[in-house]
């Protein structure tokens, strides 16, 4: 059984809270919907990230002397990365390895960034992709690894710390990690960012069910599930759920699974943890990184941290 089918079976077939892993949001439709989310007035996160990168790219490049090769975890379309590649390209040719599970996202990177850098797409999950980059990187070049957009927030806090340690294990001393993290802000503002009035985030969330139908022969009726964004104060995270509007039974042939949903039962599809700026430094230090610089956006609290292995 393919990995997607196994994970769907494990997440929906379990007792208690049903789940689907957020990495499966990003098929071609999901990646396009995510791009649309980044343009929503309510979703200030990507614009804050972009402002910080645009304003500090030259300073960032100046802090990394010598030849630098760039890799990015979960690059998406890589639009924000252009400023960093341009700043580094002033010193000489740059190689850029975007790592993403979405072929559509990687194709966008190649299309948009090949005029600035030699783009080598890596269609793998984060750590497998990073290990491949580590094996391919030219000797005597420093690696600048990007993990932008607060994607680190998709991990539980303990997992995030472990993930940073795993990243560190694939880096060499002196390599750098630029880590974007969304900071805690008033709850209504955070909820609106994940439940916009135009319904784009709802479509993004429901597309996961449509993808199960398309790829695994499921018979979900996505409109029978309501999009829900919740603030979990104890865990300091937004949780996205899909709530069954009525009792229903769903058959997913490709996962050899029949699932019953009670009315109001949910599938938990994503967590987006929010951070305090000093928490990033502590977490990074525990994983073996020194914080060289931290920049915070004034309009939408968001931080970029430049960490050295």
Ligand X SMILES: C[S@@+](CC[C@H](N)C(=O)[O-])C[C@H]1O[C@@H](n2cnc3c(N)ncnc32)[C@H](O)[C@@H]1O
Least distance between ligand X and beta carbon 91 (Å): 24
Least distance between ligand X and beta carbon 50 (Å): 9
CB nearer to ligand X: give 100 or 244.
Answer: 100
CB nearer to ligand X: give 103 or 254.
Answer: 103
Least distance between ligand X and beta carbon 88 (Å): 18
Q: Is 83 in the site for ligand X (CB under 6 A)?
A: no
CB nearer to ligand X: give 26 or 83.
Answer: 26
Structure-block tokens of residue 32: 């396009």
Q: Is 305 in the site for ligand X (CB under 6 A)?
A: no
Q: Is 26 in the site for ligand X (CB under 6 A)?
A: yes
Least distance between ligand X and beta carbon 150 (Å): 8
Pairing outcome for strands 68-73 and 95-99: parallel
Least distance between ligand X and beta carbon 100 (Å): 5
CB nearer to ligand X: give 75 or 207.
Answer: 75
Least distance between ligand X and beta carbon 147 (Å): 8
Nearest of 147, 135, 146 to residue 172 by alpha carbon: 135
Pairwise CA distance, residues 134 & 128, whole Å? 10
x/- mask, ligand X, residues 135-154, rule CB under 6 A, reads -------------xx-x---
Q: Is 34 in the site for ligand X (CB under 6 A)?
A: yes
Number of residues near ligand X (by CB under 6 A): 19
Nearest of 300, 298, 230, 302 to residue 266 by alpha carbon: 230
Q: Is 46 in the site for ligand X (CB under 6 A)?
A: yes
Structure-block tokens of residue 92: 């000489």
Least distance between ligand X and beta carbon 48 (Å): 11
CA 216 to the chain's CA centroid = 24
Closest residue by beta carbon to ligand X: 149
Q: Which stretch binds ligand X (CB under 6 A): 69-77, 200-208, 283-291, 295-303?
A: 69-77
H helix and E strand count, the chain: 10, 13
Q: Which of residues 245-264 bind ligand X (CB under 6 A)?
A: none
- Strands (E) located in the chain: 18-19, 68-73, 95-99, 118-119, 142-147, 176-182, 225-232, 237-244, 248-252, 257-261, 266-273, 290-296, 302-308
Nearest of 167, 178, 147 to residue 295 by alpha carbon: 178
Using only C-alpha atoms, the chain has a radius of gyration, in whole angstroms, of 20
Residue 59 CB: number of other CB atoms within 10 A?
12
Out of 19, 75, 303, 305, point to the residue binding ligand X (CB under 6 A): 75
Nearest of 71, 70, 74, 181 to residue 125 by alpha carbon: 74
Pairwise CA distance, residues 106 & 74, whole Å? 9
Q: Which of residues 96-135 bind ligand X (CB under 6 A)?
A: 99-102, 105, 125-126
Out of 33, 40, 61, 74, point to the residue binding ligand X (CB under 6 A): 74
Q: Which residues bind ligand X (CB under 6 A)?
A: 23, 26, 31, 34, 38, 46, 74-76, 99-102, 105, 125-126, 148-149, 151
């Amino acid at each position: 059984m393919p990995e997607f089918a196994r994970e769907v079976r494990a997440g929906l077939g379990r007792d208690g809270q049903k789940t689907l892993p957020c990495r499966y949001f990003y098929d071609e439709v999901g990646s396009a919907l995510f791009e649309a989310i980044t343009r929503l007035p309510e979703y200030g996160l990507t614009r804050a990230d972009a402002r910080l990168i645009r304003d500090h790219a030259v300073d960032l490049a100046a802090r990394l002397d010598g030849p630098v090769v760039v890799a990015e975890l979960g690059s998406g379309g890589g639009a924000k990365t252009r400023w960093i590649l341009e700043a580094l390209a002033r010193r000489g040719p740059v190689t850029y390895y975007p790592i993403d599970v979405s072929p559509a996202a990687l194709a966008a990177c190649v299309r948009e960034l090949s005029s600035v850098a030699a783009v080598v797409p890596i269609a793998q999950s984060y750590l497998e992709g990073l290990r491949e980059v580590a094996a391919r990187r030219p000797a005597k070049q420093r690696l600048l690894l990007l993990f932008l957009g607060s994607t680190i927030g998709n991990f539980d806090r303990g997992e995030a710390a472990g993930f940073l340690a795993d990243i560190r294990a694939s880096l060499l001393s002196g390599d750098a990690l630029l880590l974007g993290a969304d900071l805690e802000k008033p709850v209504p503002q955070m909820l609106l960012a994940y439940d916009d009035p135009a319904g784009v985030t709802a479509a993004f969330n429901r597309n996961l069910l449509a993808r199960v139908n398309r790829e695994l022969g499921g018979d979900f009726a996505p409109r029978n599930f309501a999009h829900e964004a919740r603030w979990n104060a104890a865990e300091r995270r937004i949780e996205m759920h899909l709530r069954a509007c009525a009792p229903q039974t769903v058959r997913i042939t490709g996962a050899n699974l029949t699932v019953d949903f009670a009315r109001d039962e949910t599938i938990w599809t994503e967590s987006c943890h929010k951070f305090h700026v000093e928490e990033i430094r502590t977490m990074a230090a525990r994983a073996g990184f020194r914080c060289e610089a931290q920049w915070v956006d004034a309009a939408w609290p968001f931080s970029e941290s430049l960490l050295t292995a």
